[in-house]
Each structure stands twice: as C-alpha cells, then as structure tokens.
C-alpha cells in the first residue's frame, strides 16, 4: 500500500533499491551457507585440504556483514517508519550512518574487489590441477542454478563488485524524482558520498590491476640496463658511482611525479642495427614514462634487454 500510493513518485525507485538489496544479500547468503560451508565441511573430513578457502571465497562473510549493517541501519527503519505512520517512504532514512559506504582502506569491499581477479585465477588453476576440486565447482554451479536460476559460480562471485557499482544509479533515480528541496539536499549529499566511495574503490582496483600487469612483464624479462655498459678499463670508483644509478624497477612509482607507472601497450617489431645493417626482432613495452625494448632470449622463455645503447627510453 505504501508503494502504490507513491506511483509516479520516488517510492518505486526506493523500492527498487530495497528489493535488489534483499536479493543481493540472499545470493551472498547462498554462497556462504551452501558453497563455503560445504568446502569447510569437506576440510573437516580431510577432503580438498590443499584448497585455500579464503583464496576461493575471499572475505565474502565480511561482505555480507556490511550489507546486513546497511539493511538493519537504514532499510529496516525506512520500512518500519512507513508502516507505522502510514506515510510515504522517506528516502532521507537511507542516508543514516552505515559502514557500507565508509571510505576506509580496510573496507571489506576494497579487499574483495582488489583480490577478485587473483581469486578467479586461483580457482581456474586449481580445477586444472585437482579433479576433486573441479567436481566441487561443478556441484557449486548446479547448486546455484537450482536456487538462483541460470546463475553460475562466476556470476555469483562477481556480484559484490557489480552491486557496489549500481548504488549511484539507484540513488540518482531517487534524487531525480524528489521534489522537496530539503530532502533533495540530503539525498544529493548522500549520492556524492557514495560516488566518492565507488570512485575510490575503482581507483584501488585499477592500481592493483596495473601492478599485476607490470609484475607479469617483469617475470618475462631477464634483465635490463638503465645506463650503457661501461668499459672494463673503468676504475672501481667510477663503477660504484654508475652502479648506484644503474638500478630501475618497473614496479616503482614514476620519479618526481610520485604516481604509479602505467603499462600502455606492447608490440613486436624489427630494430635496425647501425653497426652491421642487420635487423633483429624486438618487443617494445610502452609505459607512461618509458619505453622498454627487449629481444627474445634463445633457450629461455624470458626476454632480455637489447644490446642497444639503452633498453629504457625515457618519455618525460
């Protein structure tokens, strides 16, 4: 009745947020109560003991806690107030203090989003190595489909990331249909807080993904020189000075700017030699501040820096 009286008002948008939040908590609870609990019980029976539970499900239990806190702190009072007073759903009650949107480096959602890709890689690799774990994942998929129609393991485990991205849209829809100036001001401030939280989360996630890309490139490269090689006749004092500056780590921040180095592009090409007019196959890695030139190292899966004057070409 409360919703029907708000037809054409913001009531339906509020109800959309409420129902989707309930569905989200239900899905997370399925993961915890069925899938996670099953894996823990298998461990108790000495099955799949080599599988790390946290690497599979991360901190999904803490994720449910913050969503339940939002539900109990904001949504339950919103519904109870409307039911007790017979008045329209009051969107201002959604803005009550909740840990869900608190910008904190230790926030459970930050950890989940940052480690999600690693978790997916872990699950895939373990399925290739362990047939019993593969059977467990197949069981998980069937269990999920029974309870949540057509959803698979991947669909379920990415839900916390998808859900947090949807809050600004849901709150913006409520704001658009709010006519009272005071209420609009409160909702607008809340929307800004949520947007700042989501942007911070996305930024942390992108930084982590960038670090993983660069670490992957580092593993492929055997070595690289910052300065040209020096003559064997150079004395020890000069060598010590040169070695002091002949250190470079792709994972370090950009000097002076103190910003994270970004990997932009990789391409294969041929490099002309000035000495013998020959060409050699090289792979070039473009970063936000440097170009790294490498060539295949025969007999090794890794590549090594070229013999040109400098494997690192600064862009800044």
Least confident of 19-33, 94-108, 196-210: 94-108
Which pLDDT band, with edges at 50, 70 and 90, does 307 fall under? very low
Which pLDDT band, with edges at 50, 70 and 90, does 5 fall under? very low
Tell me: the pLDDT tens digits for 87-121?
Answer: 888 999 988 867 788 877 688 999 999 999 899 99
Q: Do 178 and 91 meet the contact criterion of CB atoms below 8 Å apart?
A: yes
The full DSSP string for 283-316 is EEEEESSEEEEEEE-TTSSSEEE-SSS-SEEE--
Q: Whole-number mean pLDDT of the chain?
A: 84
Least confident of 2-6, 19-23, 125-129, 220-224: 2-6
Task: Give the model's pLDDT for residue 302.
Answer: 59
The full DSSP string for 30-66 is HIIIIIIHHHHHHHHTTSSTTS-HHHHHTTHHHHHHH
| Beta bridge pairs of residue 280 | 271
Task: Give the model's pLDDT for residue 313.
Answer: 62
Task: Give the model's pLDDT for residue 259.
Answer: 80
Task: Give the model's pLDDT for residue 213.
Answer: 85
pLDDT higher at 281 or 40: 40
pLDDT higher at 43 or 259: 43
Token pair belonging to 65:
């806690």
Q: Do 117 and 209 meet the contact criterion of CB atoms below 8 Å apart?
A: yes
d(CA 218, CA 308) in angstroms, rounded, equals 19
pTM of the model: 0.76
Q: Do 16 and 170 meet the contact criterion of CB atoms below 8 Å apart?
A: yes
Which pLDDT band, with edges at 50, 70 and 90, does 18 fall under? very high
Q: Do 269 and 284 meet the contact criterion of CB atoms below 8 Å apart?
A: yes
Helices (H), 221-307: 236-245
Q: Is the pLDDT of residue 277 over 80?
A: no
């Amino acid at each position: 009745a409360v919703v029907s009286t708000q037809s054409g008002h913001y009531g339906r948008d509020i109800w959309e947020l409420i129902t989707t939040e309930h569905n989200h908590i239900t899905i997370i609870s399925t993961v915890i109560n069925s899938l996670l609990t099953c894996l823990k019980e298998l461990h108790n029976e000495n099955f799949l003991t080599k599988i790390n539970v946290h690497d599979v499900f991360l901190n999904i239990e803490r994720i449910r806690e913050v969503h339940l806190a939002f539900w109990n702190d904001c949504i339950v009072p919103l519904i109870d107030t409307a039911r007790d007073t017979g008045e329209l759903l009051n969107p201002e009650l959604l803005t009550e203090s909740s840990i869900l949107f608190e910008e904190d480096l230790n926030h459970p959602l930050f950890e989940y989003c940052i480690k999600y890709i690693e978790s997916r890689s872990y699950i895939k690799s373990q399925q290739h190595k362990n047939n019993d774990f593969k059977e467990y994942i197949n069981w998980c998929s069937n269990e999920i489909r029974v309870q949540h129609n057509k959803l698979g393991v991947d669909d379920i485990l990415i839900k916390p990331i998808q859900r947090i991205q949807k809050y600004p849209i849901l709150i913006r829809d409520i704001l658009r249909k709010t006519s009272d100036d005071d209420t609009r001001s409160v909702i607008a401030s809340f929307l800004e807080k949520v947007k700042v939280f989501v942007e911070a989360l996305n930024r942390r996630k992108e930084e982590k993904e960038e670090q993983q890309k660069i670490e992957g490139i580092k593993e492929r490269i055997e070595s690289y020189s910052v300065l040209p090689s020096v003559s064997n006749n150079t004395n020890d004092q000069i060598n010590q000075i040169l070695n002091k500056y002949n250190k470079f780590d792709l994972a370090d921040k950009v000097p002076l700017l103190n910003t994270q180095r970004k990997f932009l592009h990789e391409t294969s090409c041929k490099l002309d030699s000035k000495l013998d007019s020959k060409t050699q196959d090289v792979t070039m890695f473009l970063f936000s501040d440097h170009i790294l030139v490498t060539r295949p190292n025969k007999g090794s899966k890794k590549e090594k820096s070229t013999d040109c004057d400098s494997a690192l070409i600064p862009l800044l």
